[in-house]
Each structure stands twice: as C-alpha cells, then as structure tokens.
Amino acid sequence: MKQIQHVFFDLDHTLWDFEKNSDLTFQKVFLLNNIDIDLASFLEVYRPINFEYWKLYREEKVTKEALRYGRLKKTFDAINYVISDDMIGLIANQYIEFLADFNHLFDGTFEILDYLKDKYKLHIITNGFEEIQSKKMINSKIHHYFDKVVTSESVGVKKPNAKVFNFALQAAKADKENSIMIGDNLEADINGALKVGMKAIHCNFENQIIKSNNFISVTSLIEIKQYL
C-alpha cells in the first residue's frame, strides 16, 4: 500500500480493550455502591444488551442519555435485581467517570503505533462519548501518537455515516485515495470507510468467518505490519 499516507484508527475494541476496562469499572462502581450482585452473571446479560443499544445509537434511534440508562435498566430487569432509577442514574454517571481509570490496551498496540508513527500520519475516528475518549487515550499513554482525533459527537452523526469520515479526512487534510481505516466493527468502521472510498483493515480479534475481497482482515494488531 505504497500510496497510503494517512492511517485512521477506531479506538474502543481496536486499540483500547473496552471489554476488560468496562468489566473492571463495573466492579469498582458496584463495590462503591454496595451492589450485591455476581459480576460475571451481570456482564453476561449486559454485554449483548450494550451491543444492541450501541447499534441503535449509531442509527440515531436512541439518545446518548437513553443508551446510558437503558442498557443498565434492561440488564437489571433481566436478572431480576431490584434497583431504583436514582441508583441506575448514579451508576451510569460513575461508570463514565471511572471508565478511563482502567487502561488496558490490546496486545501489540504500542508496537504497531511505534512502527507506523514515522511512516504515516495517524488519526482516530471514534463513536465513543466526547467527554471520555481523550481521557482514555491520555491515561493509556497513546494520545501523542495521533495527529487528529475525531469523535462522532463533534460531527453530529455516528459512523458509518459518511459525514464522519469526510469530516475526518478534511480535518486531516487527507484524500480518501491515500487513507485507510482500521477498526473492529464491520458496519461502523469497515463498510463506513469503504463507502467513502477509503481502504480498510478489519481487526477480527474474535476470528469470525468473514469472506470479502473488499478489505483486509487481521487477527492481531501486529499483523498490520504485513500490509503497511
């Protein structure tokens, strides 16, 4: 890919280990509020519900506030745990407040960023909440690698909307022909980038069976070295 000059990364689930950090955050919040609940049982129900709410959020079908409350309310109801709306609101706020206190990155994050930083301009395009994404990057010591950090909230729409990618390209002074998107979500990151004419690398860390000639698929960050 000799023509590539700009590399755009997703953050959560791509570089920043969202699931591990999220699990530790819930552990902290439940302990603080004396929530007597089996964490593993909670997370087993919460994760698919959270995924469902994020899909609705990307599609502009729920607000940020509805996502933050709804994913918790639906989970507590599903496991028959009686809890007040006020406590759900407190947990929702504390979860965001403490999430960036945990900074586990995927294996190979520093190695691949060090490898790429002198060869390309590196950027972030993320659907994550504006108030926490920079904090995650600063606390995990990767913020300095990136020239531009574009959040969907700053654009007003979410990936895979073309406006997010076009905004990021313009902010980075990059052309779609010399840009590549690297991310874990096929809908938001990969298809979104392809539709605006960018190239894409899918971080297929769970080894899903995917057949496509339109993008590259890797099972670890270090594999990216084979293509960039």
Residue 2: pLDDT over 90: no
- What is the reported pTM? 0.93
Domain total of the chain: 2
- pLDDT digit string, tens, across residues 169-205: 999 999 999 999 999 999 999 999 999 999 999 999 9
Tell me: do 64 and 177 sit in the same domain.
Answer: no
Tell me: do 36 and 122 sit in the same domain.
Answer: no
Q: Give the residues across from 203 on adjacent strands.
A: 218
Confidence at residue 90, expressed as pLDDT on a 0 to 100 scale? 97
Residue 166 lies in a domain: yes
Indicate the residue among 72, 99, 126 that finishes a domain: 99
Residue 130: pLDDT over 90: no
Tell me: do 80 and 148 sit in the same domain.
Answer: no
Tell me: do 187 and 209 sit in the same domain.
Answer: yes
- Strand duo 179-183 + 199-203: pairing: parallel
CATH code of 122's domain: 3.40.50.1000
Residue 1 lies in a domain: no
Tell me: do 115 and 213 sit in the same domain.
Answer: yes
CB 201 within 8 A of CB 182: yes
Mean pLDDT across 92-113: 97
Tell me: do 84 and 171 sit in the same domain.
Answer: no
For residues 132 and 136, what is the distance between their CA atoms, to the nearest angstrom? 6
Tell me: do 76 and 31 sit in the same domain.
Answer: yes
Residue 154 lies in a domain: yes
- pLDDT digit string, tens, across residues 7-29: 999 999 999 999 999 999 999 99
* Tokens 């599609």, residue located: 59
For residues 8 and 180, what is the distance between their CA atoms, to the nearest angstrom? 6
Three-point CA angle 152, 75, 21, nearest 5° = 55
Tell me: do 180 and 203 sit in the same domain.
Answer: yes
- pLDDT digit string, tens, across residues 216-227: 999 999 999 999
Tell me: do 109 and 222 sit in the same domain.
Answer: yes
In the DSSP assignment, the letter for residue 12 is: B
Residue 85 lies in a domain: yes
Residue 22 lies in a domain: yes
The residue segments making up the domain with residue 89 are 18-99
Residue 218 lies in a domain: yes
Up-side HSE of residue 211: CA atoms within 13 Å toward CB?
A: 0
Tell me: do 54 and 92 sit in the same domain.
Answer: yes
Indicate the residue among 99, 131, 154 that finishes a domain: 99
Tell me: do 71 and 122 sit in the same domain.
Answer: no
For residues 194 and 167, what is the distance between their CA atoms, to the nearest angstrom? 15
- pLDDT digit string, tens, across residues 75-90: 999 999 999 999 999 9
Residue 27 lies in a domain: yes
Indicate the residue among 55, 77, 99 that finishes a domain: 99
Closest listed residue to residue 223, CA positions, set 210, 211, 207, 212: 207
Tell me: do 61 and 114 sit in the same domain.
Answer: no
CB 13 within 8 A of CB 128: no
For residues 160 and 164, what is the distance between their CA atoms, to the nearest angstrom? 7
Residue 136 lies in a domain: yes
CATH code of 44's domain: 1.10.150.240
Three-point CA angle 9, 3, 144, nearest 5° = 35
